[in-house]
């Protein structure tokens, strides 16, 4: 299996992957899945043997990189691709001047996944698009 994970300008493909996972599978309203932040985000596309299988976005604000809209289509789950996407996002954040912290809003069911990648949960559980989430963060080495 040959992965390619990199920033992309191909928003059509990223939105299609996100639509499949968030809107069709998880029932997130389309109006909440895409937002104005997409215009300023760095979008990440993950392909396996040339076929798009996952996506994410990173928002930069001050010394924080916020990873979001992380998705892997059903056929590629359990392969390690999701972890590889998160590691790529962390690498991009770490290579960005002045970024000290990577944050994300994790679906509660995925907290263990992110903890294995070095994130720590903080704050209360909250509702985002009808799904329980909790904030998580990772401090980058200085």
Structural domains in the chain, CATH included, are 3-139 (3.40.630.30)
Query: Predicted confidence band at 141 (pLDDT cuts at 50, 70, 90)?
Result: confident
pLDDT, tens digit, for every residue of 3-29? 999 999 999 999 999 999 999 999 998
Q: Report the DSSP pairing between strands 131-139 and 101-107.
A: antiparallel
User: Is the per-residue pLDDT at 142 higher than 80?
Assistant: no
- Average pLDDT along the chain: 95
What is the mean pLDDT of the segment spanning 112-128?
95
Residue 30's pLDDT band (cuts 50, 70, 90):
confident
Residue-wise pLDDT tens digits, 34-50: 999 999 999 999 999 99
Whether residue 124 is predicted with pLDDT greater than 80 in this model: the reply is: yes
As a whole number of angstroms, the distance between CA 77 and CA 31 comes to: 26
Q: What is the pLDDT of residue 22?
A: 93
């Amino acid at each position: 299996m040959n992965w390619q994970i990199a920033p992309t300008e191909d928003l059509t493909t990223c939105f299609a992957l996100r639509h499949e996972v968030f809107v069709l599978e998880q029932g997130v309203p389309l109006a909440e899945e895409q937002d104005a932040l997409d215009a300023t985000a760095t979008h990440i596309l993950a392909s396996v043997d040339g076929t798009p299988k996952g996506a994410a976005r990173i928002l930069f604000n001050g010394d924080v990189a916020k990873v979001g809209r992380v998705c892997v289509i059903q056929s590629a789950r359990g392969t390690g691709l999701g972890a590889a996407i998160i590691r790529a996002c962390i690498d991009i954040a770490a290579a960005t001047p002045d970024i000290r912290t990577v944050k994300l809003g994790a679906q509660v069911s995925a907290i263990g996944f992110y903890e294995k990648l070095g994130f720590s949960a903080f704050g209360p559980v909250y509702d985002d698009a009808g799904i329980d989430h909790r904030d998580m963060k990772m401090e980058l080495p200085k």
